[in-house]
Amino acid sequence: MTPVRAVKGMNDVLPAEARRWQQVEAAFRSTMERLGYGEVRTPYVEPTGLFVRTIGEATDVVEKEMYSFKHRDDELTLRPEGTAGAARAYVEHKVHNSEPITRWYYTGPMFRAERPQRGRYRQFSQVGAEVYGDAGPACDAEMIDALMRFLGDIGVPDAEVLLGSIGGPETRASYRDALVAALTPVASTLSEDSQRRLSTNPLRILDSKDPRDRAAVADVPKLDAHLSDADRAHFDGLRRHLDALGTPYTVDTSLVRGLDYYTRTLFEIRGAKDKLGAGSTLVGGGRYDGMVKELGGPDVPAIGFAAGLERLIIASDVAVAPATVDALVAPVGDGAVDAALVMGRDLRAAGVRCEVDARGASVKSMLRRANALGARVAIVVGERELAEGAVDVKDLASHSQVRVNIDKLASAVTETLARPATTESAS
């Protein structure tokens, strides 16, 4: 029979690898909880219109990468990112009524039909955060600084912040006109995609990797020169706060991100270039002061970021100990299985990590399994010993063995676990 395989670009995470995920997720949660953020969990499926309205119709994500489908009368999409859903929830639950500043974080799968490669998948996971209600640059600086600490905690080398400002809506509009004016005369030299973008979303041309586009944009006016006084003051403020925090950054005036909702602050963090390639972004984020209003809420500013969890795991060097149990209960013969199951349950209740091997295997093979699991103790449950109310407790480090009454089993096991693991007999 033909085996069924996972969907291309959607990966299984087996337990040894999942331990690395848990470690990075735990470090992220700890970072965010210490900053006063609370976890938000929003649906994986949202109305398609939510993403079209926020991310923007003429973006790659909305044009090419969404998993959208019709179900009965609803147009639905598997969420390609978390910001739009979080903002929808913020508006839907009128959260602004109960708190002036809201700090949320999230973790979970996102879906984009991209061409799969290392660090780029069709189902991937993000850890991310959003803050609503604080327009000032100190908020942006604190977020970027916290991210750098988090990356340090999980051992990402050479993390580097790229910082830009895309200005407010007026700045965007005036820059867009300047860009179109500069690129129209050379439009025929642009890639096909960018020729189309010239009328739909010209800012995206700045982000193109195509060499024809790279050549054409080399001499175009820079967005920086179009920033309003208020935008510039915000950006300068952000830089001052980052300097005060001692967080290094590089200003990149050509930074444009792939989502249309951004206003003012944009940032990306790159790192682990040797493992991920030079262009690979670990974290992307920025301000999106207009989204809450666009979704029918009040005029509440917002900023956030998201990091690809798979990329963080590739980049980080957290050491993860293999999964292990403390003890293995090894029933010898069918008649010992029920008693072994009860012992396993009682040991776990006493705090012992414990597996029962009820396959009906030989003692030798069960002891081999106990060693492979890294167990310190094996409890051999023989039918004859059981009839006398006893079991054999083997210390696999010292190779000693004692016969123990079943009602003393938990204390015998915990005492063994508490002894240093020497190869000498402990008795």
**Which residue ranges make up the site for ligand HAM (CB under 6 A)?**
81-83, 112, 114, 119-121, 124, 126, 128, 130, 257-259, 281-286, 288, 304-308, 310-311
CB of 297 to ligand HAM, least distance (A): 16
139 token code pair? 């908020």
Q: CA 281 → CA 72, 156, 268, 312, 313, distances in Å?
A: 38, 12, 7, 10, 13
Which lies closer to ligand HAM via its Cβ, residue 82 or residue 290? 82
Cα distance between residue 396 and residue 391, in whole Å: 15
For the CA atoms of the chain, what is the radius of gyration? 29
Residue with smaller CB distance to ligand HAM, 150 or 216? 150
Q: 186 — phi, psi (to 5°)? A: -110, 20
Q: Please tell me what DSSP assigns to residue 222.
A: P
Smallest distance, ligand HAM to C-beta of residue 80, A: 7
- Indicate the residue among 92 and 177 with the shorter CB distance to ligand HAM: 92
Rounded least distance, CB 35 to ligand HAM, Å: 15
Whole-angstrom distance between the N-terminal and C-terminal Cα of the chain?
A: 56
Q: Which two tokens stand for residue 86?
A: 């979080």
CB of 117 to ligand HAM, least distance (A): 9
CA distances from 35 to 25, 108, 245, 276, 422 (A): 15, 20, 15, 29, 43
Nearer residue to ligand HAM within complex by CB, 34 or 118:
118
Output 246 or 279, the one with its CB closest to ligand HAM: 279
Give the nearer residue to ligand HAM in terms of CB position, either 95 or 391: 95
CB of 208 to ligand HAM, least distance (A): 16
Do you know the residue count of the chain?
427
Per DSSP, 344 falls in state H
**132 CB-near residues (< 8 Å, 6+ apart):** 87, 90, 95, 96, 101, 102, 104, 292, 300, 301, 302
* Distances in whole angstroms, Cα of residue 107 to Cα of each of 141, 198, 199, 311: 22, 35, 36, 14
**CB 125 → ligand HAM: shortest distance, Å?**
8
Closer CB to ligand HAM, 86 or 327, in the complex: 86
Residue 280 C-beta: closest distance to ligand HAM, Å: 8
